[in-house]
Amino acid sequence: MNHAKPFNVIGRAHERRDGRGHVTGTTVYVDDIGFPRMCYLKMVRNPLVHARIRGIDFSEAEQVPGFVTALTARDVPKNVYTILCLIGVEPDDEPVLAEDRVRYRGEQIAAVVAETEAAAAEAAAKVRLDLEELPHVLDVEEALAPGAPVVTHWGTNHFVYEGHHCRRLRYGDAESARERADHVVSGRYQMSPIEHAPVETTGCVAKPEADGRVTVYTNTQAIYFSLDNTALILGLPPHRLHFVGGTVGGGFGGKVDVMVEPIAALAAMRTGRPVKYMYTRPEEMRISSTRSAARIYIRDGVMADGTIVSREVTTYHDAGAYSRHSPYGCTKHAANAAGPYTIPNVSVDVHCVYTNRQPSSAMRGFGVTEASFAVEMQMDRVARELDLDPWELRLHHAYRNGDERPYRKRTEDASLVEAIQAAATLAGVELAPELHAMSSNDRDWGAE
Amino acid sequence: MTLLRGRGMAAVNYPTGMNLGGDPTQALVHATTTGAFVITLSSVDLGQGLKTVLAQIGAETLGVPFDTVMVDTGDSDTGPHCMGTFASRATHRAGNAIIQAAEEARRAMLDVAAEELEAAPEDLDTDGEGNIVVAGVPDKRISVMDVALAAHFKQGRTISGRGLYMKPKSDLDPETGAMDPDSTEAHACTVADVEVDTETGQVRVLSLKSAYEIGKALNPALVEGQITGGAWMGMSHALYETTAPYYPALDHSPGDFNNYLMPGAAELPEIESTVLEMASANGPFGAKGVGEMTANSPIPAIANAVADAIGVQITDLPITPEKVLRALEQAEPAEVVL
Amino acid sequence: MTARAVSFELNGAPVAALARPLETLQSVLRDQLGMTGTKAGCRQGGCGSCTVRLDGEPVLACLVPVEHVEGHAVTTIEGLGSADALSPVQATFHERFAVQCGFCSPGMITIATALLERNPAPTRAEIAEALAGNVCRCTGIVPIVDAIEAAASRMREREGAPA
């Protein structure tokens, strides 16, 4: 590849390929897709928080004109969402349709299929649930305290990371360094759960084909991920499924949980008809995953001259009632929890905690957004307590090329120094000459 | 009514790719018989413009005009595997896969052209306008369309290529957390200026000024789209949005857009940015992922700006008027409370 | 529930639809009349993605019972322009990258078009107010305001007024 030539195509603001479709309303999204004899799936959901299911009565629902069928746990060949096992993380924990327990308000219990959307909604509303309420826990630290109601099926309210109760990072000796430090600066930072809130809700249309395959039109962010998970749940060889998508009305991480395709495909196979399953807006807001609420405690050991010699981070990541992608996200968070700074002693504990709340999962910045939020507020806290310039504090500690990160990887593409300098220039902030002279390649503020 | 001004900054990193790797993407490239090219893959466009930037990467590598490169994606029957669009991985992984596939297709194209022109392939180059020329001999040229026709109907060979990019899955040490989490890191720094109304507790973001280091801006307009969209979402995250207004309680969880607060057009700050390009060794044309980072640096910058304005840190997002008023109530006058 | 016929003008042509009582205009447009450019982002009047024009006035189709449009004129995004003949607002949205995922675009373009018809030279504040009921999650809204300003300017130029 001859990179010495000037670029012809890249580096230019070429117009969007799909722009004309978008502005004329002709781009096809999943909800725009329909087929003859298509029916609609609505989910019956847990109205309580934590409960045991004693019985489900469909007799009234079946009387609704247009009712086609209903599915419960026993209809699902492999009744567990498998999004983690495909990336080698165990155990899977969330049923496609609840079996004996429901663990969060809104959890799916039964799928009702009917000729029209209105009929499906009416029938779903007429399904009678016999539920026995169980004690629930909502706070991450309460969930880890002895005696808390147990959320998971394996008996602890935390994900087990290779025998540990949290994902851990240990670099140097943070505790000793903190004890020798001149100052200790501590903070508690709480990130709220937020919704992806794409303007297009999550959904799919599953269509059984004459050759026995099932085509699923979906707005998933990950075609094969969704296909493979659906195949596992349905007990089908993956090549029997045909997933079509690629056009999404906003994702932000909210359309990677594979929540709708398996049950819709199952319904299509059972009824022999196309089935559409689109989340309503209230479902998108209250049921679909959120960003996790993360409670982050940071404790820094700082010398009188402003050098941060130790950083201890304890994070309680609220996974909600089920794992979804949280165990993976906590590991990613652990790598980023100390921030883009060279600090010689770092200790990180990330607890993936289960509560009886709406499950959280991937969202734009997964694992890193909360780290950046907490670390940058903590840096300002250090600056305030020690009366340091916040710019100088960042620039001194910003990692350089050749520095070792706390996860023991040598840095090769550092550019934080330059980004900070450029932002200062843009904002009209005058940096002292020695700060202006810094670069990611200078290594003259090393940690070692 | 007192309006307090504050300024805050935040510096962040953002990793490209799925944590610990193991997230491959494949791409196929083939020429049509009339010299257009089709890139076939399964990567999903969420609106960020992936289909456009991947066509650019393909066109640049092949050396053909942008308009002649089609992207066919989102069908598992025709497109090879892609892990998905998340973790700021799509341009990086799919882009690299396309470069590999397009390089193979380009070599095949030049071989066919060489035979047609009776020249050596190493003396040939594309002009980026749909022709293949012999270096130093302007009359000796052939259109890409004629090359494609010759390949298929005369020489009986394909012009196509295959590519796959993967950062191999690595393990981490469960005791120390030692790991290789990402392919490359992008960086950003945001400076936020805010104004806090001490009577209502409302925070107005006056401006967000940011620098983003992203390796290479393959399509500057799409990058700017992420910067502006991310700035808005970051502002929303810091000050407006929540699914649990009284977290961890379930009360008052919004079920519609009327109750899920986000800033509207009237709340927009001045958004200024500068883009730095320090090429990544493993990114397509040096590009790093950008889609998630742009929402991250504004959040703490705004929170830090509020703290600067009112003299006390509110460390619980979103920073609502209620929280601001409580913080002002609890703060000793003219004293920083931590 | 007996369906009944509802007749109205759609994008300049007469149509008739068979509607259930109180079925929304959004549902009739999308499910019966093939006008899927009008989106269904929430069906609660909260997102604006179903904005259409009723006798020129912007309305949220998800909140309009179709009986109310009997004898009236409805314009959807399909009636504004086509891929080879974009309206000025459609053109500036495309040129200025005021679209990303595109899901809010029909609603945004519709409300912007209605705004510019009644106010050919809006200030940015007036544009912002007009967009208050339309959610965009991707663009950060600034490019949309810019595009509307640019469309206004282009339209005034064509009319011979100072840009």
Give C43-102 as a DSSP string. SSSSS-TTEEEETTEEEEGGGSBGGGGTTSEEE-GGGT-BTTB--HHHHHHHHTT--SS-
Interface test with B, best of A5, A317, A376, A401 (most B CBs within 10 A): A376
Interface test with C, best of A12, A14, A23, A27 (most C CBs within 10 A): A23
What pLDDT does residue A448 have? 42
What pLDDT does residue B332 have? 55
What pLDDT does residue B338 have? 39
Element (H, E) at A184: strand A183-191
Bridge partner list, C162: none
Cα–chain center distance at B224 = 10
What pLDDT does residue C161 have? 63
Cα–chain center distance at B195 = 31
* CB nearest to A23's CB, from C39, C44, C86: C86
A136 contacts A52 by C-beta, under 8 angstroms: no
Q: Which amino acid is at C114?
A: A
**What is the residue-level pLDDT of chain B in tens, covering all 338 positions?**
799 999 999 999 999 999 999 999 999 999 999 999 999 999 999 999 999 999 999 999 999 999 999 999 999 999 999 999 999 999 999 999 999 999 999 999 999 999 999 999 999 999 999 999 998 888 899 999 999 999 999 999 999 999 999 999 989 999 999 999 999 999 999 999 999 999 999 999 999 999 999 999 999 999 999 999 999 999 999 999 999 999 999 999 999 999 999 999 999 999 999 999 999 999 999 999 999 999 999 999 999 999 999 999 999 999 999 999 999 998 755 444 33
Q: What part of B 137-166 touches A (C-beta under 8 Å)?
A: none
C123 close to B (CB below 8 A): no
Q: What is the mean pLDDT of residues A254-272?
A: 97
What pLDDT does residue B337 have? 39
What are the domain boundaries of chain A? 30-134+197-286, 167-194+289-436
CATH number for the domain formed by residue range(s) A167-194+289-436: 3.30.365.10
Q: What is the mean pLDDT of residues A30-49?
A: 98
Between CA A202 and CA A209, with CA A206 as vertex, the angle to 5 degrees is 160
A220 contacts A245 by C-beta, under 8 angstroms: yes
What pLDDT does residue A89 have? 77
pTM value is 0.96
B290 contacts B228 by C-beta, under 8 angstroms: no
Q: CA–CA separation, C67 vs C8, rounded Å?
A: 10
| Interval A386-442: pLDDT, tens | 999 999 999 999 999 999 999 999 999 999 999 999 999 999 999 999 999 999 999
Q: What part of C 84-103 touches A (C-beta under 8 Å)?
A: 86, 90-91, 93-95, 97, 99-103
Architecture of domain A30-134+197-286: Alpha-Beta Complex (3.90)
A188 to chain B: closest CA residue: B315
Q: How is residue C28 annotated by DSSP?
A: I
User: A364 and B233 in contact by Cβ < 8 A?
Assistant: yes
B104 is catalytic: no
How crowded is residue A305: how many other Cβ atoms within 10 Å of its Cβ?
Answer: 9
CA-based nearest distance C137→chain A, Å: 6
What are the domain boundaries of chain C? 4-79, 88-160
Q: How far apart are the first and last CA of chain A?
A: 40
- From the list C53, C57, C47, C20, the residue with the least C-alpha distance to C35 is C53
A149 contacts A135 by C-beta, under 8 angstroms: yes
Q: How confident is the model at residue C1 (pLDDT cuts 50, 70, 90)?
A: low
- Which strands form A294-302's sheet, in the order they lie side by side? A167-171, A345-354, A308-320, A294-302, A183-191
Q: What is the mean pLDDT of residues A92-117?
A: 97
Say yes or no to pLDDT of A445 above 60: no
Asked if the domains C4-79 and C88-160 are classified in one and the same CATH topology, the answer is: no
Look up residue C39 and give its two tokens: 């989106």
Domains of chain B: 3-15+182-337 (3.30.365.10), 18-167 (3.30.365.10)
Q: How confident is the model at residue A151 (pLDDT cuts 50, 70, 90)?
A: very high
* CB-side neighbour CA atoms (13 Å) of B315: 24
Say yes or no to pLDDT of A446 above 70: no
User: B229 and C139 in contact by Cβ < 8 A?
Assistant: yes
Say yes or no to pLDDT of A71 above 90: yes
| Interval A247-256: pLDDT, tens | 999 999 999 9
| Interval A162-172: pLDDT, tens | 999 999 999 99
Counting one residue from chain B and one from chain C, the pairs whose CB atoms sit within 8 A come to 69
Q: CA–CA separation, C35 vs C57, rounded Å?
A: 18
Catalytic one of B199, B292, B329, B332: B292
Q: CA–CA separation, B157 vs A180, rounded Å?
A: 72
Between CA B62 and CA B73, with CA B67 as vertex, the angle to 5 degrees is 80
Q: Where are the alpha helices (DSSP H) in A274-386?
A: 281-286, 326-336, 369-385
Q: What is the mean pLDDT of residues A66-87?
A: 91
Chain B neighbors of C128, CB-CB under 8 A: 264-266, 268
Say yes or no to pLDDT of A447 above 50: no
What pLDDT does residue C162 have? 57
CA distances from B194 to A103, B293, B294, B305 (A): 41, 21, 19, 6
Q: How confident is the model at residue A90 (pLDDT cuts 50, 70, 90)?
A: confident
B243 to chain A: closest CA residue: A194
DSSP letter string, B293-336:
HHHHSHHHHHHHHHHHHHSB---BSS--HHHHHHHHHHSPTTS-
Contacts of C59-65 with C-beta under 8 Å, sequence gap 24+, read C59/C25, C60/C133, C61/C24, C61/C25, C61/C26, C61/C29, C62/C24, C62/C25, C62/C26, C63/C24, C64/C24, C64/C25, C64/C26, C65/C22, C65/C23, C65/C24, C65/C25
What pLDDT does residue C110 have? 98
What pLDDT does residue A439 have? 96
Average pLDDT of the residues of chain A: 95
Interface test with B, best of C97, C111, C135 (most B CBs within 10 A): C97
User: A414 and B185 in contact by Cβ < 8 A?
Assistant: yes
Architecture of domain C4-79: Roll (3.10)
Superfamily of domain C88-160: [2Fe-2S]-binding domain (1.10.150.120)
Chain B neighbors of C143, CB-CB under 8 A: 225, 228
- From the list B208, B210, B206, B240, the residue with the least C-alpha distance to B223 is B210
C100 contacts B49 by C-beta, under 8 angstroms: yes
| Whole-number CA gyration radius for chain A | 26
Q: CA–CA separation, B311 vs A445, rounded Å?
A: 31
Q: What part of B 106-125 touches A (C-beta under 8 Å)?
A: none
Look up residue A260 and give its two tokens: 């709708």
What pLDDT does residue A443 have? 80
A427 to chain B: closest CA residue: B209
